[in-house]
A = this chain, B = another copy of it.
């Protein structure tokens, strides 16, 4: 129920898909909730057809689950899924850091420097929300800096399944994790600058794992993750 009427330059199904994806990631649509085609159609002011195609795409992206003749639901990752997603995060970000380190001076490196500077400042003034946003940018920069678009595409897809952005703040709620995280970012940057590929991968993986452990420690588990119904 929003600004559809205005920017209708692109296809309806893309609008619906993007809108739905954003809402799912943001947690606006809770996991397990039913998505009626007809309801979404009237909500977006289109017919069922583009809604169906959008849902189909979100299904192959792993965000929704279509049960034939029953209904479409926001995917509810199992605990095993979450573990697997975290593994993938570690693998892909580690590999990205390695590739990044091998590339030398690229635009993303300068952006990464700025990010770390800004992060230090945010930590200094204890701006958790600001830092959380910078963390998102940091990891995205790492992945972009790999120079491998497929890696980035699939990384994004996987992180969407985790609704990752919402988790960052949680992981930072752990006492001491904020400054620790910031320090790790600085070390990763330094080692990328030094073009030490292997160490870059190792440091990045360690950083990702540390974040995950902080998160898991601060997390009330799936089904009830601050997602009350």
How many chain A residues touch B (CB < 8 A): the figure is: 24
Indicate with 1 or 0, residue by residue over A48-68, a CB within 8 angstroms of chain B CB atoms. Answer: 000011001100110000001
For A74, what are the chain B residues with a Cβ–Cβ distance below 8 Å?
A: none
A134 at the interface (CB under 8 A from B): no
For A158, what are the chain B residues with a Cβ–Cβ distance below 8 Å?
A: 150, 154
A148 at the interface (CB under 8 A from B): yes
Q: Chain B's nearest CB lies how many Å from the CB of A78?
A: 10
Within 8 A of B (CB), among A121-152: 148-151
Q: Chain B's nearest CB lies how many Å from the CB of A22?
A: 17
A183 at the interface (CB under 8 A from B): no
Please determine whether B95 and A91 come into contact, CB atoms closer than 8 angstroms. yes
Which residue from B11, B56, B157 sits with its C-beta under 8 Å from A57? B56
For A35, what are the chain B residues with a Cβ–Cβ distance below 8 Å?
A: none
A92 at the interface (CB under 8 A from B): yes
For A84, what are the chain B residues with a Cβ–Cβ distance below 8 Å?
A: 148-151
A114 at the interface (CB under 8 A from B): no
A180 at the interface (CB under 8 A from B): no
Please determine whether B11 and A88 come into contact, CB atoms closer than 8 angstroms. no
Please determine whether A87 and B99 come into contact, CB atoms closer than 8 angstroms. yes
A148–B89 Cα gap in the complex (Å)? Answer: 12
Which residue from B53, B87, B150 sits with its C-beta under 8 Å from A148? B87
For A213, what are the chain B residues with a Cβ–Cβ distance below 8 Å?
A: none
A92–B154 Cα gap in the complex (Å)? Answer: 12
- By CB atoms of chain B within 10 A, which of A99, A150, A154 has the most? A150
A167 at the interface (CB under 8 A from B): no
Indicate with 1 or 0, residue by residue over A76-89, a CB within 8 angstroms of chain B CB atoms. Answer: 00000100110110
Q: Chain B's nearest CB lies how many Å from the CB of A6?
A: 20
For A91, what are the chain B residues with a Cβ–Cβ distance below 8 Å?
A: 91-92, 95, 151
A87–B100 Cα gap in the complex (Å)? Answer: 13
Within 8 A of B (CB), among A1-49: 11
Starting from the known contacts A52-B53, A57-B57, A150-B158, 5 additional A-B residue pairs (CB-CB under 8 Å) come to A53-B56, A84-B149, A87-B99, A91-B92, A91-B95
Top 3 closest pairs, chain A to chain B, by CB = A91-B95, A84-B150, A60-B60
